[in-house]
Chains A and B, each alone.
Chain A
Amino acid sequence: MIDFVHPALLFILGALPIPFLKGSIRKAYLMLIPAVAILAVLTVQPGSYGAAEFIGQEILIAKVDRLSIVFATVFTIMALIGMVYALHLTGAGEHVAAFVYVGSALGVVFAGDYLTLFLFWEGMAFASAYLVFAQRGKQAIRAGFRYLMVHITGGVALLGGVILHGLATGSLLFGPIEGGMGVAAYLILAGFMLNAAVPPLNAWLTDAYPEATVTGAVFMSAFTTKTAVYVLARAFPGTELLVWLGTAMALYGVIYAVLENDCRRLLAYHIVSQVGYMVAGVGIGTEMAVNGASSHAFAHILYKALLFMGAGAVIHVTGRRKLTELGGLYRTMPLTVALYMVGAFAISAFPFFSGFVTKSMVVAAAGQDHRALVVMALTMASSGTFLHTGLKLPYYMFFGTDRKLEAREPPRNMLVAMGMAAVLCIAIGVFPQPLYALLPHPVDFEPYTGVHITESLGILMFTALGFVLFLRALDPENTISIDTDWFYRKGARHFMWLAEKPLARYEKAVSDVSETAVLPFLHGTARAGLRIDLNGVDAVVNGVARSILRGGGALRQLQTGVVTHYALAMIVGVIAAIAVFAVVWR
């Protein structure tokens, strides 16, 4: 009996038959594989599987422990929800890419060594890039290339770090980085932080996700950043730098979200913000903090997917994505509004929604670790989260000015997928114990205390008061915001200008100098060389040749053609050789 079916394999090999299946058989198949994968993860036993040798290195295809099981569980659940949401698509391309993407993410989560991890890491980048390209259109293609370029750069940093780490420690097994932080550790950390979208390495996310297809963005919102949180939790728990970057990140996303006009880009900035809680949790590194980071990743995948599905449904139905062009959809899309709001309450951490039982664990862990500033900043970020995803976005998308858009509820499969995610968001909030039981460390945390409930409601409802009072200040504007992608979008252009203008001029000046001064000099020396060559060198060469010729003539006269002369000469030679040998040898 096989004791371990690798869920990554289920998805990656399972992607192969998709293009050959048609109609309802394909639909059934698309749901069957994630369902089987969920079962595979639920029944998996902790342990090491698939150990091997490769070019003299230990390879461990799958290392299963409690941390990897948490992430694998939510990944497979999310794969099922995402597939249901994408069932209406007729082309096979996106389904195949999504399968490979999910499979690669699971491969990373179970990877026992850095080479396996790197392989799946790159698989994720390429498969997810397809979900951007599949949107077609100039804007999406460009964003897709930028996305790929950034991820390949991050992959190179990671690979460099892995190789240095392997050379230094002699092992490529994936685990906590021990000893001091050297170049290798920082390169690996940079590679991981890029995928976690830690500023300033965050712009690829907010650049690419809103350009992806409606269904593709749902997958993207779930996997890349959360695998990064997983690898950070595995390799860098308790890294002080991550506490501050995570905290800054939580506020960074919120600040940009105020300025954003594109509905899915606003949500993407909230991925940055929410992943900030997880990164900070990993950085604090206590058992409670790592539990908080893992459980928050679990809850986040579900509510963020729900929010992306809601915004995606609006785009699918209306074809519009800017808040300045949306409004008044609540009349035609009430179900979408209700389901979206479940996600919004969950991300804002309202009591009885999933965020309440997970986000608070990170904040409480920061409090227990005596980090007052982190607690304050993260609490402020939760206020911003509700302000945007719970108030601003739904207000301008569904309520606000009625733009008289023709709309209807999205296809039923989309609503069902949103319903599945919404049920889980509420179930986790009301019954947190099954999730807590799944976490890597034992949980000693009670979210439902009187103080916690009134404090959370105080923060959230008085944020709503601020929203009501300053509504006009929040009106979306027809702008885009400059983020760190400026450096490779505009900065690259400045570099090209530099290459074309000053550098080209410099090159021309250099070649002018060489033409007017250096070249004549070179010509002169060449002519002098030629003279020396003709008169000096050639004379020597000719002289040597002539003497050899003369010597040859003399030798010819010695060759008599008489055998006895030759025999005599040979005997003389042998005697001479013996004489020399006898003298020299002794």
Chain B
Amino acid sequence: MIRRVVDFFGEARYAEQRRRLFYLALVLIVIADFLVPREHAEYLWDRLPGWSAVYGFLSCVLLIFVSKFLGHQGGLMRREDYYD
């Protein structure tokens, strides 16, 4: 069973199915976020349905590009023999 699940995520022939399932999950999560009750809204973003999706995506993009910028332009990334 485990092998079949793992294969589903690895094999190229399931790529299309994977993509559809993934986007379906995204849509369902956003819809669910609009439907859940929100009593303890302390911050502004607690009251905004779908905020977490936007923030998650922006965080991810920001982290990737800020880090790579620091790595390449900031000089953090060096050749592997840098310390030798």
Residues of A446-464 whose CB lies within 8 A of B: 450-451, 453-464
Bound CA span A490–B2, Å: 47
A399 partner residues in chain B, CB cutoff 8 A: 9-10
Asked if A338 contacts B76 (CB within 8 A), the reply is no
Bound CA span A7–B5, Å: 41
Q: Is A2 an interface residue (CB 8 A)?
A: no
B6 partner residues in chain A, CB cutoff 8 A: 330, 334, 337-338
Q: Is the interface of B mostly helix, strand, loop or mixed?
A: helix
Asked if B59 contacts A255 (CB within 8 A), the reply is no
Choose among B42, B51, B67, B83 the residue that contacts A367 (Cβ–Cβ < 8 A).
Answer: B42
Bound CA span A425–B61, Å: 29
A328 partner residues in chain B, CB cutoff 8 A: 10
Asked if A255 contacts B70 (CB within 8 A), the reply is yes
Q: How many contacts A-B (CB < 8 Å)?
A: 153
A134-158, CB under 8 A of B: which get 1 and which 0? 0000000000000000000000000
B76 partner residues in chain A, CB cutoff 8 A: 256, 259, 481-482
CB distance from B50 to the nearest CB of A (A): 7
A466-B57 CB under 8 A given contacts A337-B6, A450-B36? yes
Residues of B39-67 whose CB lies within 8 A of A: 40, 42-43, 46, 50-57, 59-67
Q: Is A163 an interface residue (CB 8 A)?
A: no
A382-426, CB under 8 A of B: which get 1 and which 0? 011001000000000011000000000000000000000000000
CB distance from B26 to the nearest CB of A (A): 6
B53 partner residues in chain A, CB cutoff 8 A: 458-459, 461-462
Asked if A463 contacts B60 (CB within 8 A), the reply is yes
Bound CA span A238–B56, Å: 29
- Chain A residues close to B by CB (< 8 Å): 254-256, 258-259, 328, 330-331, 334-335, 337-338, 367, 372, 375, 379-380, 383-384, 387, 398-399, 450-451, 453-468, 470, 473-474, 477-482, 489-490
13 contacting pairs across A/B (C-beta < 8 A): A375-B43, A451-B38, A459-B52, A461-B53, A465-B26, A466-B61, A468-B22, A470-B64, A473-B64, A473-B65, A481-B76, A482-B75, A489-B83
- Chain B residues close to A by CB (< 8 Å): 2-3, 5-7, 9-10, 22, 25-26, 29-30, 32-33, 36-38, 40, 42-43, 46, 50-57, 59-68, 70-71, 75-80, 82-83
